[in-house]
């Protein structure tokens, strides 16, 4: 990565015609994203460039048709660029795919309808696999065997899982310990920016369980939604996903390596509905596995988090077994969203699917469908993104020695977190 960064610095300082031309497109891309953000309040997830550009976007509020014209021109210009080295190729590919997604989002804001797969291909550069109900019911049957007793599975599952809810008065203690452990394990392999920091807040009435609001200068606001019960496994899930080595580290490394060291201004703005999100969410989810192996996680939760939460550590192994099995149902989220957003499921049918097929907690099913309404095909970024990041990282772990292979995985993971690679580049 050091060599790659040095090459990037040399490229920018040399002021070659290619660098200047790509830099021009990058500036136009940044302005276009800010302009679209005036029509979609959720679109710009993070921005830490010059305040004057954002102020100008607010003041002018360009019509969508004018923004589209600018984006189309930028797409034509970036298509003419020829890369002189792998760094340039990645940057050109990034801008090309991001601009395509900007245009697709404009189309959607103007009322154009895409199929679920068309939408995710345009916005996230990927298409999720399809599975029918029978595929998931076979997994549900395995869960049914694991949780014996009388009554419907959902009732038995709810009763069993109730033993793993973190009491609200212990949330901060548990999350502080979790995030600290995620950070410590990440810092063994990643040199974090010296000034990096975050603030943790507990909120409610949100369509998500956790969120990282990146503020720039290696600082994040991490929010955890306490509207519904928070199960013990979510402490490490969210600590790693939102913090280390997830969103906080991803954004901090992009800012440090690409914005500050190379002046690649396109990375100072993050449009939520774009290919960046598959990498962001996928790496944040896979980051949990990077920080903790299954055995390490069980050990830490059983010895540290369960006691802090006031839960029975003896139950941890069986709960881990259940969660590992239920993880196989993750793509039910994508398939349910597809059926709902394409009109084949009503809201009630989508909730039924999530409860009985995805084994989602009944009290949270309406919240999940509201997430589909708000973010549509974004759901694929979590599970498909995780699987694609995993495949990319594991390809680099060729050592037979487990410790050496782990270092190789972290090296590949760090490369992904601080480069302009998108879904197409993971295959």
How many CB atoms are located within 10 Å of the residue 423 CB?
26
- Burial (CB count <10 Å: 0-12, 13-18, 19+), residue 201: exposed
Q: Can you spell out the DSSP letters for 272-332?
A: SSSTHHHHHHHHHHHHHHHH--HHHHHHHIIIIIHHHHT--GGGHHHHHHHHHHHGGGTTH
- Burial (CB count <10 Å: 0-12, 13-18, 19+), residue 112: exposed
**Pairing label, strands 219-225, 197-203:** parallel
pLDDT band at 10 (very low <50, low <70, confident <90, very high): very low
Task: Identify the bridge partners of residue 46 per DSSP, sorted by sequence position.
Answer: 270
Which pLDDT score, from 0 to 100, does residue 420 have? 92
CA atoms within 13 A on the CB side of 343: 3
**Domain residue limits, the chain:** 2-115
Residue 190 near residue 410 (C-beta atoms within 8 A)? yes
pLDDT tens figures, 229-280: 999 999 999 999 999 999 999 999 999 999 999 999 999 999 999 999 999 9
Residue 292 near residue 236 (C-beta atoms within 8 A)? yes
The mean per-residue pLDDT over the stretch 49-75 comes to 97
Contacts of 256 (CB under 8 A, 6+ apart): 193, 218, 418
Cα three-residue angle 231-233-234, rounded to 5 degrees: 70
pLDDT tens figures, 156-212: 999 999 999 999 999 999 999 999 999 999 999 999 999 999 999 999 998 889 999
């Amino acid at each position: 990565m050091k060599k790659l960064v040095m090459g990037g610095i040399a490229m920018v300082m040399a002021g070659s015609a290619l660098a200047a031309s790509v830099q021009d497109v990058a500036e136009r891309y940044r302005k276009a994203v800010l302009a679209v953000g005036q029509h979609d309040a959720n679109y710009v997830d993070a921005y830490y460039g010059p305040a004057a550009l954002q102020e100008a976007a607010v003041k002018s509020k360009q019509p969508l048709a004018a923004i589209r014209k600018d984006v189309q021109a930028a797409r034509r210009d970036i298509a003419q660029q020829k890369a002189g080295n792998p760094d340039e190729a990645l940057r050109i590919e990034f801008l090309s795919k991001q601009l395509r997604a900007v245009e697709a989002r404009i189309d959607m804001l103007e009322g154009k309808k895409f199929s679920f797969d068309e939408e995710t291909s345009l916005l996230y550069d990927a298409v999720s696999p399809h599975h029918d109900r029978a595929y998931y019911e076979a997994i549900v049957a395995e869960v049914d065997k694991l949780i014996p007793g009388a009554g419907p599975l959902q009732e038995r599952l709810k009763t069993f899982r109730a033993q793993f809810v973190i009491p609200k008065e212990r949330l901060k203690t548990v999350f502080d310990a979790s995030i600290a452990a995620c950070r410590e394990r990440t810092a063994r392999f990643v040199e974090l920016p010296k000034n990096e920091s975050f603030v943790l807040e507990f909120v409610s009435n949100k369509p998500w369980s956790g969120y990282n609001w990146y503020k720039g200068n290696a600082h994040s606001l991490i929010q955890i939604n306490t509207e519904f019960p928070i199960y013990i496994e979510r402490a490490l899930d969210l600590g790693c996903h939102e913090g280390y080595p997830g969103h906080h580290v991803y954004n901090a490394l992009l800012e440090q390596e690409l914005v500050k060291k190379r002046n690649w201004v396109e990375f100072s703005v993050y449009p939520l509905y774009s290919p960046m999100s598959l990498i962001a969410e996928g790496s944040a989810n896979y980051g949990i596995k990077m920080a903790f192996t299954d055995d390490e996680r069980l050990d830490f939760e059983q010895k540290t988090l369960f006691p802090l939460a006031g839960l029975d550590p003896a139950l941890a192994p069986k709960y881990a077994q259940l969660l590992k099995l239920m993880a196989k149902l993750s793509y039910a989220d994508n398939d349910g969203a597809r059926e709902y957003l394409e009109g084949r499921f009503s809201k009630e049918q989508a909730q039924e699917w999530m409860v009985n097929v995805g084994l989602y907690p009944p009290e949270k099913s309406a919240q999940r469908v509201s997430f589909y309404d708000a973010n549509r095909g974004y759901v694929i970024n979590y599970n498909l993104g995780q699987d694609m990041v995993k495949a990319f990282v594991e390809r680099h772990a060729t050592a037979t020695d487990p410790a050496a292979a782990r270092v190789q995985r972290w090296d590949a993971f760090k490369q992904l977190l601080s480069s302009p690679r998108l879904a197409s580049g993971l295959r």
